[in-house]
Structure 1
Amino acid sequence: MDSAEAQLETFMARYLPGVAGTGRAAIKRMRARLPGCNALVYDNYNALAVSFSPDGTTRSGIVSIALYPRWVSLFFLHGARLEDPDHLLKGDGPAVRHIVLGSADDLDLPSVRDLIDRALDAADVKHDPARKGALVIKAISEVQRPRRPAKG
């Protein structure tokens, strides 16, 4: 396991086992689905996010997997401009939309696969499966919210 993989695993271990397991499985599936993309890791204030970028830059990210204390979401970084015939996407900001994942298996639902395909088609930088993607730790926030829900 290289140092970026080990560091990502350290970040994941801070979550409850169910959330961490869903996050690991979702990230693994997205890395397999988007082999030419870099997986950019952001251990942010609110969440641990892994964004998938076809050229390794933050601005070209297409989708991301984000872990929160109680759930994992699939984010579409330009989701506001996607057609969503099944009304799966949540959010009302100017760009980003998301789907809360019940499990990593949700990534294989036809309607979710269709949204991912639409996001890839609409991306400013096109996905090249022949490109060698990498896992890159991009940012680690010094101050973070707890990664597990408060007891009570």
Structure 2
Amino acid sequence: MRRDPPASIPNYPNAEAQLASFIAKYPPAIAALGTEVRLRFRRRYPTAIELVYDNYDALVLALSPTERPSDAIFSIVFHPLEIQVCFLQVKKGFYDPEHRLQGRGRIAKHLTLTNSAPLDEPAVDALMRQAIRRAKAPFATDGLPRLIIRYVAALQRPRRLDQ
């Protein structure tokens, strides 16, 4: 049974509260780190549309310039032991000289975080700027952020290892 509002209702009034309840399912350290990463992305990309998917395996916050999931440039993925920042449009020619990104995907790769320090590194900043330059659609230059709960899985793996 779906518990989320229809995707056609942007800025659903309870979206922030709903997202907070999803994050609260995770261990406190992971919840805090994920929230910090989200706030840092929100400051850096203030017009990004956050598309939230509380999936079977993980909580995903896709950051997109449009409401189309395929236009998302980054995502923040909550796992019980770590946070991943995914670069979703890493296609042929994406330059990662320090090999910071992990994964074998031809379109998406990720950076695993156990703290937020890597987000301050020049190499990661360069990767983020490159991702923005190469994106299918740019983030708007002005406007308000939006949070849209797109999907809530009826069945989910435990979000804490002690469950």
The bucket for the TM-score relative to the shorter chain is over 0.9
Identity of paired residues, percent?
A: 35
Q: Does 1:122 align with 2:156?
A: no
Match of 2:150 among 119, 134, 138: 138
Instruction: Name the TM-score, length of structure 1 as normaliser.
Output: 0.93
Equivalent position amino acid for 1:132 in 2: L
Uncovered stretches (5+) of structure 2, i.e. residues with no partner: 1-12
Could you tell me how far apart the structure 2 residues matched to 1:79 and 1:144 are? 28
1:84 — aligned with what? Answer: 96
> Deviations for 1:45-83, whole angstroms, at most 9, x for unmatched residues?
111010100122211000011000110000001224321
Check the 8 A contact 1:42/1:50 in 2, yes or no.
Answer: yes
2:79 — aligned with what? Answer: 68
Greater helix fraction, Structure 1 or Structure 2 = 1
Match of 1:23 among 16, 34, 40: 34
Moved over 6 A (4+): none
Instruction: Name the TM-score, length of structure 2 as normaliser.
Output: 0.87
Match of 1:13 among 18, 24, 28: 24
3-state SS, counterpart of residue 135 of structure 1: strand
Task: Indicate the RMSD between aligned Cα atoms, in angstroms.
Answer: 1.4
Deviation, 1:106, is 2.2
2:68 — aligned with what? Answer: 57
3-state SS, counterpart of residue 112 of structure 2: strand
Q: Aligned residue pairs: how many?
A: 150
Uncovered stretches (5+) of structure 1, i.e. residues with no partner: none
